[in-house]
Structure 1
Amino acid sequence: MLQVIRKVIGSAGDCQTAKIIGKLNEKKLLERCFKMESSQDFYHLFQPIINTNFPEKPIGYEAFIRNRHEKNPLKIFEKARKNNSLLEIDLHSINCALKYADSSNSAYHLFINIFPSTLVSDAFLALLDKIVNKPVILEINEANEETTIWNNPLLKKNILLLQEHNIKWALDDVGTGQASIQRIFEYQPNYIKLDKYFSNELSARKEKQKVVTFFVDLTKYMGSHFILEGIEKETDLKIAKELGVRNVQGFLFGKPQKEISHPRSDCCASKVN
């Protein structure tokens, strides 16, 4: 049936076609998402992302999806992958984040983690209208299990569709995947988030400092925003600032919390400058 619709109406990359196809699948999928939401097993934790020049005003918060019955996030997604329910979790996460943003009148951007496979689904494209003009940044991770999806032409079409709708997106965990640099050049993300491995012991590791400097320069050239993840020590933050890093995230500013809270500002002000 979907193949016939695509043939008659046009490519699935076309927004109107995607909406029509998406609605055919949406009812059943939303029923599963509603069941997931009603169970209240899943919830978000929020961690601030700050500009070191203005630490009292975060640029946004990353929304981490969690489960009440499984404390290890990796196991949540491993189980979901086996049960073929990653898409439901991602859509549920997006819907909950949108509700939170609406209810709290949040002035902050919410960075929402999704898998590349979600972005190429018809049901996700049906949600585009809900995301437009919302303070949402989609954070696409580099899961090694989904490496081949980056070669799917539909992924690039849908990322272009996001850009056409002025929906910002971030490439997450850069440095852990197999082709981070290539994807940055090909897909032009609005935000590049360097994995926490590179911030750990940054003050003592010259080679990590060179990597950070490379991404600072690259994002300036591309007009993207650079975020260094995993800052836990003030000494590493000091070096990051000296290297030109402006946007950072990590336990130094606050652990993920159930409610949005202001980060520590003292660690970026009097102790570092």
Structure 2
Amino acid sequence: MQDCLSQELNRLLLTEDITTLLQPIVNINRKCVFGFEALSRGPSDSPLHTAPMLFETAERCGQTLELETLCLRTAARHWSGHGTPLKLFVNISPAKLMPPEFNPTQLQELLLANGLKASDIVIELSERYPTADPSELLKTLVWLKAEGFLIAIDDLGSGYSGLKLWSELKPDFVKIDRHFIRDIQDDLIKREFLRSVVDLADRLGCKLIAEGVETEAEFRVVSELGIALVQGFLFGRPKPIATAYLDSLNDHAALASKPPRREKEIAGLLCRYIEPVTSESTLRDAWERLQSEPDVFALPVVDNGRPLGLIHKWRIMETFSTPYGRSLYERLPVSNRHSADALVVDYEVPLNEVSERLINDDAHYLKQHFIVVKNGKYAGLGATRSLLKHITEQKIENARYSNPLTFLPGNVPIQQTLVARTEEMRAFSLIYFDINMFKPLNDVLGYRVGDQVIVLLAELLKEVFHASDDFVGHIGGDDFVVISSSSSANYNAGTVQSLFAERSRRFYSDCILKSGFIESEDRNGQPCRFPLVSLSAGTVEVGPDEKVTADQISEFASFAKTRAKASPNFRFVVFSRARSGERSEGSQDSDGSCVSCVLGEVQN
């Protein structure tokens, strides 16, 4: 096998059968392509097609420098044909820049022959390879900088020398290894590492490039950390032509004017852009794609933006494994073997709904992928494994802070949700529910009945506030909170009050129900008659684009609850200035059941 690979490498070097592909590097802030990285590949039908196999074989055969020289010549010729006034990033090993291998005259001739300028070339020096003589390497880099070349350290965090190489070489760019980017939205350690690297780069006057950005979630975190240059499949796969996919930049620009938002639990959170094939692509084309991308197990089949299904790696392997399978079927279109029953979901669909659809779709087979669309057009793929992992982690996180009696989210998730809603700058209502006369009931009927009444209220809140973005939390004791974007939130609060008054009566004896009160001691130890339990609802309605903090809303909610307990039918609403125009100050509902004020009155 090794002899075959060695012979194939010698053939490629002799025939110069190397292809240059270009992957875009984009500038988030300017919403444009900053440059392209030149990536080398062997022929598509060669065992040395993929970069890892190609360069690992060259290293084993001691021909790395010969291969690099060929790749540089090929990249220069390929880039000169595009006439693009952008930066070209090329990979060079330290050994290639060390004497006697490094030849300044040949480098200048290569630029001249292809009409290139040194200032347009960024030399990527990989951190994966050790440097035998740093002082000699530094001399070469000083010369290159003097000539106008730019220097980048590739794969920061993946190799031998770490920050030492950075401090010695003083590069213009540092590319962060994709290991630190993958799933960064779910990894606190990775985010802290990147935050420290961003701070260091600012101090040293160096630009960072985040490699391997594949999902919207990763992109948002990288952007929020202040990294302006990004590279990855989300913006374009390596292709022979200089192209880029910039829709994510446009989406980012639309959000840039608003404060950062917490990740929404939607299908788009797990969406990864996989370059699709068309229905006319052959099984051979699809197989070569899947072979060159070992972490991809299915390709979306898309015509004119409309997803038709998935072509699975196992399906092609099954087809080719039959006698003469490859020669018989490789020229067939993928439409002959693709799965047309793939689950297609909208970008904004909640993850729990995606999970339910996957589980209910087929009782005997759980699909491994689902297709995500935006406005009916293909946007990317989601992996069922990632979905289940995310939901499991979310449930574990919720369980940590849930109330042990009702299993509703407790104070930490309540605060997180409230902060997220204020950052969204959309209209929403926060309703603070409190049970009236709960202590007398608890004292007379016992804690067991008291717990049952609390559970009853929790069930009612979940029953009435069941919209996808409704949030029901349990502060503690008999205090609950609901956060809802529904325009009927205040009406729903009244519904809960009515249902609670009706269903809570079952906990009393016929005698108590007939008398209409319960006898117990007041706070001074004196016998007293108390009404049966009822429910107070203090509401804070926040308008769109309202500049109010989560802490302020919490204060307004406490005020509203206190006023509700002393108001007719136990309801009170505090309106923000943005929504106060809907009612006059101090107004009542038509049935006189709900009084209100605006936030200014609370603050004054």
Same-fold status (TM-score > 0.5): yes
1:104 aligns with 2:82: yes
Q: Which structure has the larger Rg over C-alpha atoms?
A: 2
1:217 aligns with 2:199: yes
Deviates further, 86-95 or 58-67: 86-95
Counting only pairs closer than 5 Å after superposition, residues 43-82 of structure 1 correspond to structure 2 as: 43-55=19-31, 57-68=32-43, 69=46, 70-82=48-60
- Paired position in structure 2 for 1:92: 70
1:128 aligns with 2:111: no
1:66 deviation in Å?
0.9
- Paired position in structure 2 for 1:227: 209
- Paired position in structure 2 for 1:189: 171
TM-score (norm 1): 0.80
1:142 aligns with 2:127: yes
Question: Which residue type is aligned with residue 37 of structure 2?
Answer: E
Unmatched segments (≥5 aa) in structure 1: 1-34
TM-score (norm 2): 0.37
Q: Contact between 1:36 and 1:92, CA under 8 Å: does it hold in 2?
A: no
Distance 2:13 2:58 in 1: 15
1:157 aligns with 2:157: no
1:101 deviation in Å?
2.8
Please provide the CA RMSD for this pair. 1.9
Question: Which residue type is aligned with residue 141 of structure 1?
Answer: S
- Paired position in structure 2 for 1:119: 97
Q: 2:230 aligns with which of 248, 251, 255?
A: 248
Unmatched segments (≥5 aa) in structure 2: 1-10, 257-604
1:42 aligns with 2:18: yes
SS in 2 for 1:54: coil
Q: Contact between 2:16 and 2:70, CA under 8 Å: does it hold in 1?
A: no
Counting only pairs closer than 5 Å after superposition, residues 2-13 of structure 1 correspond to structure 2 as: none
Q: Contact between 2:27 and 2:34, CA under 8 Å: does it hold in 1?
A: yes
Alignment deviations for residues 114-169 of structure 1 (CA, whole Å, 9 cap, x no partner): 111111143432333244823211111123xx4142x4421111111111212111
Alignment deviations for residues 44-99 of structure 1 (CA, whole Å, 9 cap, x no partner): 111100011233x2110011111112233222112111222111221222222222
Distance 1:54 1:96 in 2: 30
Question: Which residue type is aligned with residue 87 of structure 1?
Answer: L
Identity, in percent, stands at 27
Question: Which residue type is aligned with residue 73 of structure 1?
Answer: A
Question: Which residue type is aligned with residue 128 of structure 1?
Answer: L
Distance 1:100 1:121 in 2: 27
SS in 2 for 1:178: coil
Alignment deviations for residues 193-223 of structure 1 (CA, whole Å, 9 cap, x no partner): 0000111111111111111112222222111
Q: Contact between 1:49 and 1:61, CA under 8 Å: does it hold in 2?
A: yes
Question: Which residue type is aligned with residue 211 of structure 1?
Answer: F
SS in 2 for 1:147: coil
How many residues matched?
Answer: 234
Deviates further, 74-83 or 233-242: 74-83
Identify if the C-alpha distance between structure 1 residues 239 and 152 changes in structure 2 by more than 3 Å, giving closer, same or farther.
closer
SS in 2 for 1:269: helix
SS in 2 for 1:100: helix
1:38 deviation in Å?
6.3
- Paired position in structure 2 for 1:267: 248
Question: Which residue type is aligned with residue 224 of structure 2?
Answer: E
Question: Which residue type is aligned with residue 167 of structure 2?
Answer: F
Deviates further, 101-110 or 238-247: 101-110
Which is helix-richer, 1 or 2? 1
Distance 1:86 1:40 in 2: 14
SS in 2 for 1:65: strand
Q: Contact between 1:253 and 1:264, CA under 8 Å: does it hold in 2?
A: yes
Identify if the C-alpha distance between structure 1 residues 121 and 106 changes in structure 2 by more than 3 Å, giving closer, same or farther.
farther
Distance 2:61 2:160 in 1: 25
Distance 2:27 2:84 in 1: 18
Q: Contact between 2:127 and 2:155, CA under 8 Å: does it hold in 1?
A: yes
Q: Contact between 2:94 and 2:131, CA under 8 Å: does it hold in 1?
A: no
Q: Contact between 2:42 and 2:49, CA under 8 Å: does it hold in 1?
A: yes
Q: Contact between 2:95 and 2:101, CA under 8 Å: does it hold in 1?
A: no
